[in-house]
Amino acid sequence: MKFLILVTLFGLSLAQHNPQLKSGRTAIVHLFEWRWADIAAECERFLGPNGFGGVQISPPNEHIIVSSPWRPWWQRYQPISYNLCSRSGSEAELRDMITRCNNVGVNIYVDAVINHMCGSGGGEGTHSSCGSWFSASKKDFPSVPYSSLDFNDNKCKTGSGEIENYNDPYQVRDCRLVGLLDLALEKEYVRGKVADFMNKLIDMGVAGFRVDASKHMWPGDVDTIYRRLNNLNTKWFPSGARPFIFQEVIDLGGEAISAKEYYHLGRVTEFKYGAKLGTVFRKWNGEKLSYTKNWGEGWGFMPDGNAVVFVDNHDNQRGHGAGGASIVTFWDARLYKMAAAYMLAHPYGQARVMSSYRWNRNIVNGKDENDWIGPPSNGDGSTKPVPINADQTCGDGWVCEHRWRQIKNMVIFRNVVNGQPHANWWDNQSNQVAFGRGNRGFIVFNNDDWALDVTLSTGLPGGTYCDVISGQKEGSRCTGKQIQVGSDGRAHFYISNTEEDPFIAIHADSKL
Ligand code: QV4
Ligand code: CA
């Protein structure tokens, strides 16, 4: 009996680690600040056909509207209620998006902000995305409803009511994160409201949640909430499928709270991954690509089955959160494409691709004074649609890294090599490395300041393969480089260090 209970509990929590991706799909993309109508269209015209597995969306619930600074992106991390109208669109548009994405095999993961409501200085009135009245000073949110009884202020022991010391786990969980009114998740009433919110989204068809600020919530509290979540909607998911949970815990080491405390509840964001990958590709601190032979757990990252990995996220691409200066972003496009390709070629973790918008950076003494700027918007603050140019790139300031040929093709590579082991490693003891995935794919990087010129065992069957970085296979020809793999699996690679993209990738489906 005891054993059975253990198996059931373990089974339940393990299930929350499963992203519930549709067969053959492996990567998800964060369409940061996109409107629901644009995401629906993107699922149908691009993500579905190109094998993307899912989309992380920005918080869909009612949020504060901030006028100073003007409509920052971070206003959406200040909830006012669980009504589903946000800067990205209405509840009807959200529902339509979930349905249309699911219908083309693309999952939706919701960014769930459940640790707090708006900032204590958020004022009083109806400056909220659905127009609900609230009062931050009275801690009154009638549209949930939450009242002052539903917040943690009595529990928090710091003088300011703020988190003052990240080495004290009580402060981190019970006090305010940057002034955000901290919900009392130990209360049955609050747990119920949060679970209802998440269950409504599950019933609409979402596949899971990125749980914001998980470090700031007690594992035991969120566990009770996760246990109340419904199974996924059987219109699109197998019966009994559990929602995927991935928790935002920034753990670079050296703090009281570690990612481990959340492993049994779902996956966790592995922030060491992007920080280290950036250091390696920038060749800082004496790091070399050749040292990544044991990339993954060998580098002290969390167990494979727990990790969500990414090169950058919406915080650390603009200096928020953590990861530091080493983080590579679309601003360093050449390095970014290599880092993203490395992540997508490597088997470790559940990969998430970032998709950003451009803003006017204004870096003063290492800090971006414009780190608050919201998505491309009209004068009234409404978010602009994402226009698609004739060459398939995005216009109006939307970067659409996920549409860059090199990244899109590496998402396909990851699908093609899914389940195959890391194999046929080669390095030059510097910054030229190569590895394959069983007999299904092979990738070669040159991040040194001299040419790469070498013959390597690829593990692939003999034949002519199209490089999916400089081009791709179109019909019976390659639009970029061709690689000849001999019947012995060996192939010659030449990559100049001055090439636009100094790396080559080939896979089973890019064979002529
Ligand atoms: C200001 C002062 C405070 C003061 C407060 C009083 O700075 O000292 O107490 O006013 O009201 C914004 C402003 C911030 C302001 C706050 C409250 O930037 O200056 O406080 O609002 O009005 C995002 C942004 C934050 C933003 C927040 C809410 O990054 O700048 O704060 O949204 O709008 C830690 C956490 C981790 C977190 C990371 C950023 O462990 O969980 O910091 N990451 C997630 C999200 C992130 C989001 C939040 C958490 C909060 O990924 O985007 O913060 O939901 O590492
Ligand atoms: Ca908290």
The H or E element containing residue 443 is strand 441-446
Ligand 1 atom nearest 372 alpha carbon = 18
Question: Amino acid identity, residue 259?
Answer: A
**Residue 248 annotated among the catalytic residues of the structure:** yes
pLDDT > 90: percent of the chain: 96
Distance 173 CA to ligand 2 centre (A): 4
Distance 185 CA to ligand 2 centre (A): 8
Tokens 């199974």: give the residue: 231
Asked if residue 61 lies in contact with residue 97, where contact means CB atoms within 8 angstroms, the answer is no
pLDDT tens track for 190-206: 999 999 999 999 999 99
Boundary residue ending a domain (395, 417, 439):
417
Mean pLDDT of 446-455: 98
- The predicted structure's pLDDT at residue 5: 46
Confidence bin at 268 (pLDDT 50/70/90): very high
User: How far apart, in whole angstroms, are the C-alpha atoms of residue 347 and residue 444?
Assistant: 15
Do 380 and 287 belong together in one domain? yes
Asked if residue 212 lies in contact with residue 115, where contact means CB atoms within 8 angstroms, the answer is yes
Identify which ligand lies nearest to the alpha carbon of 310.
1
Active-site entry in 111, 248, 261, 467: 248
- Say if residue 8's pLDDT is above 80: no
Asked if residue 473 lies in contact with residue 480, where contact means CB atoms within 8 angstroms, the answer is no
Ligand 1 atom nearest 214 alpha carbon = 41
Beta bridge partners of 456: 491
Q: What is the CATH number of the domain that holds 280?
A: 3.20.20.80
Do 378 and 404 belong together in one domain? yes
Ligand 1, atom 18, lies closest to the CA of 74
Q: What is the CATH number of the domain that holds 432?
A: 2.60.40.1180
Boundary residue ending a domain (371, 401, 417):
417
- Say if residue 355's pLDDT is above 70: yes
Ligand 1 atom nearest 162 alpha carbon = 9
Tell me if 111 CB under 6 Å of ligand 1.
no
pLDDT tens track for 409-449: 999 999 999 999 999 999 999 999 999 999 999 999 999 99
**Residue 212 annotated among the catalytic residues of the structure:** yes
Do 398 and 452 belong together in one domain? no
User: How far apart, in whole angstroms, are the C-alpha atoms of residue 353 and residue 336?
Assistant: 11
Domain that holds residue 265: 1-417
Do 428 and 394 belong together in one domain? no
- The predicted structure's pLDDT at residue 10: 52
SS percent in the chain: helix, strand, coil, step 5? 30, 25, 50
371 by DSSP, 3-state: which? coil
pLDDT tens track for 489-512: 999 999 999 999 999 999 999 999
CB atoms closer than 10 angstroms to residue 363: 11
Ligand 1, atom 23, lies closest to the CA of 74
Boundary residue ending a domain (373, 394, 417):
417
Do 413 and 470 belong together in one domain? no
pLDDT tens track for 84-125: 999 999 999 999 999 999 999 999 999 999 999 999 999 999
Do 369 and 472 belong together in one domain? no
Do 23 and 117 belong together in one domain? yes
Distance 484 CA to ligand 1 centre (A): 52
Confidence bin at 11 (pLDDT 50/70/90): low
Distance 179 CA to ligand 1 centre (A): 8
Tell me if 113 CB under 6 Å of ligand 1.
yes
Do 56 and 108 belong together in one domain? yes
- Say if residue 129's pLDDT is above 50: yes
Confidence bin at 13 (pLDDT 50/70/90): low
- The predicted structure's pLDDT at residue 148: 98
Confidence bin at 15 (pLDDT 50/70/90): confident
Do 454 and 406 belong together in one domain? no
CB atoms closer than 10 angstroms to residue 424: 18
Tell me if 347 CB under 6 Å of ligand 1.
no
Ligand 1, atom 3, lies closest to the CA of 178
Q: What angle do CA 87, 92, 93 make, to 5 degrees?
A: 50
User: How far apart, in whole angstroms, are the C-alpha atoms of residue 390 and residue 412?
Assistant: 22
Ligand 1, atom 34, lies closest to the CA of 321
Do 129 and 227 belong together in one domain? yes
Do 250 and 185 belong together in one domain? yes
> In total, how many domains does the chain have?
2
Asked if residue 50 lies in contact with residue 412, where contact means CB atoms within 8 angstroms, the answer is yes
pLDDT tens track for 26-40: 999 999 999 999 999
Do 293 and 342 belong together in one domain? yes
Mean pLDDT of 384-396: 97
Active-site entry in 111, 212, 221, 501: 212
